[in-house]
Amino acid sequence: MDWNFQTAEELAAALRAGDVTSAELTDEAIARIERHDKAINAICVPDFDRARAAARDADQARARGEDRPLLGIPVTVKESYDIAGLPTTWGMPPHRDYVPAEDAVQVSRLRSAGAVVLGKTNVPLGLQDVQSFNEIYGTTNNPWDHARTPGGSSGGSAAALASGFGALSIGSDIGGSLRTPAHFCGVYAHKPSLGLAANRGMVPPPAPALPAESDLAVVGPMARSARDLTLLLDVMAGPDPLTLGVAHDLTLPPARHERLGDFRVLVLDEHPLIATGSAVRAGVNRVADALVEGGARVERHSPLLPDLTEAAVLYTQLLFSGSAARLPVQAYEELRLLAAGLSADDRSLDATRLRGMVFSHRDWVEANGRRELHRHGWRQLFAEFDAVVCPITPTAAFPHDHNPDLLGRRLDIDGVEYPYLDQLVWAGLATMPGLPATAVPAGRSPEGLPVGVQLIGPMFEDRTPLRLAELLEQEIGGFQAPK
């Protein structure tokens, strides 16, 4: 039997039943990677010897009667997580030889749950792109069309899952970095509520792995089924023991509903700042139709929805103020001069990005205060709705574009060009207020490329969009392997 495209849940059942061993699963996964990854380039740092040893240990543990959530299941890890003995570079050439001495907290949790780590997956330079390429490890290709990107920054992880290289992966998300690759590669991902999963050891080299609270970024699970996302999130969720001094334990509230017909859903497919491509709109509508057929209450408009333009501006300000905070002084001063030269009437997202890069602390505090107003607005919305369905990006996977000037790149949306970074506005809708969002497959584009949508849920009610994802998978199908 070919185990490579089985879900983690199916593999766990087979391991418990004695139908297969972890050693066999691991050898089969490694053989598949060695056979097919030359064309994809998803696994940038293989760790096969230690994976085989971990698989043998898992089989011995099972023989002793042990059982853990991921015992013996092959997985991959985004390159940006520290794994003791392997390089952590974030794709940055000056740090190609940086090797941490300790595992990131989430890698430790994977190992404690019994997972077998096959290796690390590719990322863009500094994790700052919607693609996955860098000078150290090269370019990762989309398994559906090698001329296109798998997305970023967790693009290697999504490409690995779509290619059958391991059953699960862990990634991170600040600008859709879990959700966009899932959408582009036809797999599942979940951006947890802000602060739900500890992120220590997911830090750019050579910074020390210290506990730190992010105002936007999260770490989260990727998989080939919705139920697998919940399985992995349960392993990942919980505070950092260094900050709270408590055991890894966090009880999330149950999903609001178990039946599709009980859900109240707001469906969005238009944004005031960017067009929605026809293929993505069709994916949103396919999900909306399935919800209606399943008896859910579906609305297309609500006065409770926080203003989408202001949400995009706030997200852009917070994102770029953070990304530019550690720039060298000279580069920062050059940006300040450029920002000072902007017309006061220029309200484009390009201008917002530039102004955000030179935010003062006073500016940031003011923007953060407006974020709290948006969070309050979302609380009011989620008193009337259980989830929001909307795009992740405006298009399916696009051709590789390695123009080093991100601000100079353009994104083609049904024949009309838009600034490349404007595509982040949909991902930012959940990121800015810190809401959970689950990326699910929703069909194919006319070219046969995967199209996904995101299900945004209430803060710390991650199980609600995850359950909705399971129910939609039953209605419209889920992952399909690329031909």
pLDDT at 233: 98
The DSSP result for 176-229, as a single string, is STTHHHHHHHT-EEEEPPTTSB--TT---TTS-------SS-EEEEEESSHHHH
Find the mean pLDDT for residues 104-110: 98
Cα distance between residue 113 and residue 2, in whole Å: 24
Please give the torsion angle defined by the CA atoms of residues 191, 196, 201 and 202, in that order, rounded to the nearest 10 degrees. 20
Residue 248: pLDDT over 60: no
Q: Beta strand 416-419 with 188-191: parallel, antiparallel or unpaired?
A: unpaired
Band of residue 247 on the pLDDT scale cut at 50, 70, 90: very low
The DSSP result for 93-111, as a single string, is GGGTT---SS--HHHHHHH
Output the CA angle 204-120-207, nearest 5 degrees: 15
pLDDT tens per residue across span 370-383: 999 999 999 999 99
Residue 178: pLDDT over 90: yes
Q: Assign residue 176 a region (left: φ > 0; alpha: ψ between -120 and 50; beta: otherwise).
A: left
Question: In DSSP terms, which residues pair with 102 in a beta bridge?
Answer: none
Find the mean pLDDT for residues 181-207: 97
pLDDT tens per residue across span 385-423: 999 999 999 999 999 999 999 989 999 999 999 999 999
Cα distance between residue 453 and residue 442, in whole Å: 6
pLDDT tens per residue across span 331-372: 999 999 999 999 999 999 999 999 999 999 999 999 999 999
Q: Tell me the one-letter amino acid at 286.
A: R
Across 154-158, 240-244, 472-476, least confident range: 240-244
pLDDT tens per residue across span 211-238: 988 999 999 999 999 999 999 999 999 9
Cα distance between residue 371 and residue 318, in whole Å: 9
Mean pLDDT, the chain, integer: 96
Band of residue 246 on the pLDDT scale cut at 50, 70, 90: very low
Q: Which two tokens stand for residue 231?
A: 């399985």
Residues serving a catalytic function are: 78, 153, 177
Cα distance between residue 465 and residue 129, in whole Å: 26
**Which residue do the tokens 């185990």 mark?**
3
Cα distance between residue 114 and residue 6, in whole Å: 18
Name, in order, each residue with C-beta under 8 angstroms of 304's C-beta and a sequence gap of 6 or more. 377, 380, 381, 384, 385
**Which residue do the tokens 């419209």 mark?**
476
Q: In 3D, which of 393, 371, 390, 400 has the Cα closest to residue 459?
A: 371
> Do 74 and 51 contact (CB within 8 A), yes or no?
yes
pLDDT at 212: 86
Band of residue 249 on the pLDDT scale cut at 50, 70, 90: low
Residue 18: pLDDT over 90: yes
Cα distance between residue 331 and residue 445, in whole Å: 41
pLDDT at 470: 98
Is the pTM of the predicted complex or chain greater than 0.75? yes
Find the mean pLDDT for residues 242-251: 64
pLDDT at 327: 86
Residue 459: pLDDT over 60: yes
Cα distance between residue 190 and residue 178, in whole Å: 7
Band of residue 251 on the pLDDT scale cut at 50, 70, 90: confident
Cis peptide before 172 (omega within 30 of 0): no
Q: Beta strand 387-390 with 410-413: parallel, antiparallel or unpaired?
A: unpaired
pLDDT tens per residue across span 268-290: 999 999 999 999 999 999 999 99
The DSSP result for 165-187, as a single string, is S-SEEEEEESSSTTHHHHHHHT-
